[in-house]
Amino acid sequence: MQLFLDTANIQEIREGVRWGVISGVTTNPSLAAAEGIGDSGSYKAAVQEIADLLDGPISVEVVSQDAAGMIAEGREIAEWIPNPWVKIPSTAAGFEAISVLSRDGIKINQTLCFSVNQALLGAQAGSTAVSPFVGRLDDIGQEGMELVAEIVSLFRDYQIDTKVLAASIRHPLHCTLAARAGADIATVPYKILAQMAQHPLTDAGMTRFLADWEKAGSA
Ligand code: G3P
């Protein structure tokens, strides 16, 4: 399973890329707003800065609600950087936009997916990846990871090559479970990436190795 960083924060992306563990980045209007980005010009500049840091796909979301607007925005975003995935919501207008943009050869990250049926529709329309939102389903008392597992299993059965991208990841266990469920990608906030690297026994082991080493050196 590949890991993408779910952030528009350039420092976080720089750090993740330095670790050599990040294959892509996902952004959305809320993540952009958290960095003070609120218009298409500054979103473009931020995305171009991110693209200078890594070759992998960078997901950039449209804000139009209607198909014509999404298609126009998607075509524009596709020109911003070398490896864009245009994020389109799982709505009727979204499926129309996905089918048009995918036929143009533009890669699509179908976002805000909350059901198997939305995933099936997106795959038929030509989504490159579909993003089930795990944490937001958990929030309403539904097991979000079950949706990931169900989509993975159906896509395998029907040999659908749309990737399954586990999103709305809220804690490190979500990441482990997404990998077990067979997700192709999980997109994680930086805080969770950092938590994934940590284990108290690793820290304790390093302390003990160092203490033994110093004791032997001073004997
Ligand atoms: O990848 C989608 C993500 O940004 C949404 O996460 O935590 O707002 O549900 P969250």
- Distance (angstroms) between ligand 1 centre and the Cα of 133 equals 7
Quick one: what percent of the chain has pLDDT higher than 70? 100
Which active-site residues does the annotation give? 87
Distant-in-sequence, close-in-space partners of 158: CB < 8 Å, separation ≥ 6: none
Lowest mean pLDDT among 10-14, 36-40, 82-86, 97-101: 36-40
Pocket test for ligand 1, best of 59, 168, 192 (most atoms within 8 A of CB): 168
Alpha helices in 140-199 (DSSP H): 144-157, 172-181, 190-197
Q: What is the DSSP letter of 167?
A: B
Give the chain's mean pLDDT: 97
> Which residue minimizes the CA distance to atom 6 of ligand 1?
168
Kindly write down the DSSP assignment for every residue of 61-80, as one continuous string.
Answer: E---SSHHHHHHHHHHHHHH
The Cα 202–Cα 206 span in angstroms is 6
pLDDT for residue 219 is more than 90: no
> Which residue minimizes the CA distance to atom 4 of ligand 1?
168
Task: Render pLDDT for 111-150 as a digit per residue (tens, 0 to 9).
Answer: 999 999 999 999 999 999 999 999 999 999 999 999 999 9
The two three-digit tokens of residue 89, written as one number = 């919501």
Within the chain, what is the greatest distance between any pair of CA atoms? 76
The b/e string for 97-114 (b: 16+ C-beta within 10 A; e otherwise) is bbbbbbeeebbbbbbbbb
The Cα 181–Cα 179 span in angstroms is 5
- Distance (Å) of CA 194 to CA 34, 75, 83, 174: 19, 35, 26, 14
The two three-digit tokens of residue 207, written as one number = 């302390």
pTM: 0.95
Instruction: Rounding to the nearest 10 degrees, give the CA dihedral for residues 96, 55, 38, 127.
Output: 10
**Which one-letter amino acid corresponds to residue 50?**
I
Task: Render pLDDT for 76-101 as a digit per residue (tens, 0 to 9).
Answer: 999 999 999 999 999 999 999 999 99
Task: Render pLDDT for 181-211 as a digit per residue (tens, 0 to 9).
Answer: 999 999 999 999 999 999 999 999 999 999 9
> Which residue minimizes the CA distance to atom 2 of ligand 1?
168
The Cα 128–Cα 121 span in angstroms is 12
Determine the pLDDT at residue 125. Answer: 98
